[in-house]
Structure 1
Amino acid sequence: MEDTNSLSLEELVVDYSQEVEIDQISEIQYRDQDLSMPKNIEVQNEKNVVDVLESKLLVGTIMNDIEDDYLLYCQYAHAKGFSVRKGDQRCFSHTNELQSKEFNCSCEGSKDEKSSSKKIPVYQKLVTRTKCKAKLKITRERGGEWRVSRFFTEHNHEMFAPDQTYLLRSARNISYAKKSTLEAMVNAGISVSNAVSFMENEACGSENLGFIRKDAYDHMSRLKKHTKVENGDATGLVQYFINKANKENYFYWNVQLDDDDRVMNFFFRDYRCAVDYEYFGDVLSIDTTYRTNKYNLICAPFVGLNHHMQNVLFVLAFMSDETESSFEWLFRTFLDSMNGKQPETIFSDQCQAMMNAINTVFPHSHHRLCQWHINQNAPSHFGSLNGDSAFKKLWHKCMTYCESKDEFETT
């Protein structure tokens, strides 16, 4: 599929109507970066953690790949009390294949006095660059394995205290599950501040949450940008739908406008989608995980399974937000396009706004949470059990191999 950032809305609709790859009902693997302390290292104190991690980063040590090396160095840095920046990299000549990569202490380098001298300072910014030499460098031969070539451990500045390391920039990361929880609470009318407070209580303290309030505000601000469709693109989109409906008698489309008559959400399905829903519409999966295009619109496919256990697309919609009113409009439009036929079972994520709309529009359907989303959200409730491999195996067995409620409870 093409890079959708460069597509117009009309091209985007054509692109997705021709090929939509959604696999929510079957198991989906999603990897969040885990910047926390490694769970398989038994330690008695912070110094023991540092020693164990240093032994894994010695010069000559074979490394798996760049991303794993970065995460391991971050874990070492957070245990010791400093933050990490990705540094210089070098490629093999005449190719884009990486030959070496550096990860530096965030205090590496010095302030650019030349550029800053031309600016009038509004306030005295704290200088954090101290020309620190601490770094990790990995290299490889062409086609060979990554190895540690340099590992400098000496710093020329003070380290953060253990109870403050969660504030370090490289220690903070909003995982997919936590982003979903934050967005769902804000869309349900809860302020960002109150949502973060709730999540801090659930994590038993702000130091266990993995991000700070500023990160939450920044994330929500990014979501609000470019969500309204510009007039030129909106006109092209509507014209595309009109032309499509003129050529296909059973093509159905609809758009929702905001108070300024700008396109917020749009919805479409063709004749094949309607036929598939008539035969296979007893189970419906709604997925609002993915965002795409320059408007940061939410891609919301309605997907089911056919008699060959293959995914079939019933409807495709794009939404500018995940509020209860938007979901109600989407579901009522869906029912109208499918002659009022309600599904027997609906699978979705744990979005409160969506759950409220489902209860309102689909009162006779059974609403269930998607197994993938449960697996994504569950670790935030496990606490110390996240490091228990026996518990993880039992959890996987219960979630994957138990086919009845009684079997699940017994296991």
Structure 2
Amino acid sequence: MEHNHEMLAADQRHLLRSSRNISYVQKSIVESMVNSVITVSNAVFYMINEAQGPQNLNFIRKDAYDYLGRIKKQTKVENGDASALLLPFINKSNKESNFYWNVQLDDDNRVMNFFLRDSRCEADYEFFDETESSFELLFKTFLNSMNGKQPETIFTNQCQAMMNAIETIFPHSHHRLCQWHINQNAPSHLGSLNGDSSFKRLWNKCMTHCESEEEFESTWSIMIDEYNLSGHKWLNGMYTLRYKWATAFSNHKFSAGLLATSRSEVTNAVLKRSRNSAISLYDFVVNYEKIQQSWREKEKAEDTRCHHKKAPTILKNNPMLNSAVDIYTLTVYKLFELEFINSLNMRFIEMPLDFSAVSLDFKVKSHDENSRVVRHVLFNKETTEVKCSCQKFESMGILCKHILMVFNFMNVNYIPKPYSKKRLMKNAKNRVLVDDFCQQESGSGQESEMVFVNQLMRSTYTLTMRCKSNGDARKKLTEIVEGAREQIDEFFEKLKLDDNGIQEENMVDEMVMQDAAKEKDKAHRLPNA
């Protein structure tokens, strides 16, 4: 009979959630005013005056902010916009057999997400592994579109949902955590340690400057013990994930020297500048393709520059540098030349005991007396196979100064083929020209399973959409599909019978051959006539 809470005063009842409802007209007014560069506060203040008091407005300022926040997060899809988006996808997939697209719908059959990838994207991915950080729910679609080829290395932030998805969908990829994001996040967990230069030195060493897993473990123990951090929850969590962010555990995997997601962040920024809240899906795709084409034109210009211009070498007649100039792009050559220069600042501290052996073990070190790092270089005289403990080639794809020093000593005056990574060479793009790629695929006469599935699904989808508005057409298409199913069942049944028949024939042939062999063996055992 009595309320279990205090009643609100009459002038406060309009603040109850059940009493608030921003109408369609009010939403339109707020949105129009904000689009006219009027602040939300001023827009609501104006509407309060027009309603002669806040109690007559039926919503508060928070409701206006919430509404504008929702429409900002949602992509506006006008009537017919989704259809306009799908039509060019279908047309392009008909013309380009390897064009891949997919659309995700919500429970009300409204477009939520869409994905597209053309032949050039697949070809680029084939020769240049991606380091994207924001696939999230699109990981599976991305993997399907790339014929199941998993990326070699993936950089992401510490989104747990993303990390879980990568473990499930990309189990064979090397997952790395972005060091920039970690360092941005660290100050909120480290408190007073943020101002301690000695702690920062140890932390940075653990991040990127430990030469081995053993050195990382030693440095981490020193850091934890000196600052009594054994119970620090965030640092303990980071230690558990050390294989994903510390370079000491990652140098054996190729990453092109990347430590962060900066490459994809730049790409995201460019794409964000190409859109606004009012742009349609179709216009967004058109803008995306224009940006993609612009990138490819720049790439083509750089390829042309590499083919028609030779980088000047510091030693004109040096065969190793001449070999590198002929192989590498201009940018990669400069990196290689720097390693070559630095190799001149190295010295042997221990030579192999027996030079007649096939496998030789060199120990090298910088001329800098303060240098503590000793590198082991294993060299095979017969195959010129080489491996350095710094693992620069494994992570960067470029021979390190330690190996170049050993090569010079052993009179290896060229870059052995196994150490010329195709992704870094001038002619890498020759194999991924769009026209050649498409012609080779269409002329081969052998479609991949994915291409077959894509083409047939597009054709079926087109027929279904064409027949959906006519009852007779729907009935006709259903009959055709059912007939096709029966024919396919008969085909596989016949195939099964043929296979069984072949197996039976093979068994009979094998039995005949066995009998003949027995007779022959029996004849050999009979005494001479």
Sort the TM-score into its range (normalised by shorter chain): 0.3 to 0.5
Q: 1 or 2, which has the higher strand percentage?
A: 1
Q: Calculate the TM-score normalised by the size of structure 1.
A: 0.35
Bigger-Rg structure (1/2): 2
Q: Which has the higher contact order (CA 8 A, sep 6+)?
A: 1
Q: Calculate the TM-score normalised by the size of structure 2.
A: 0.28
Q: 1 or 2, which has the higher helix percentage?
A: 2
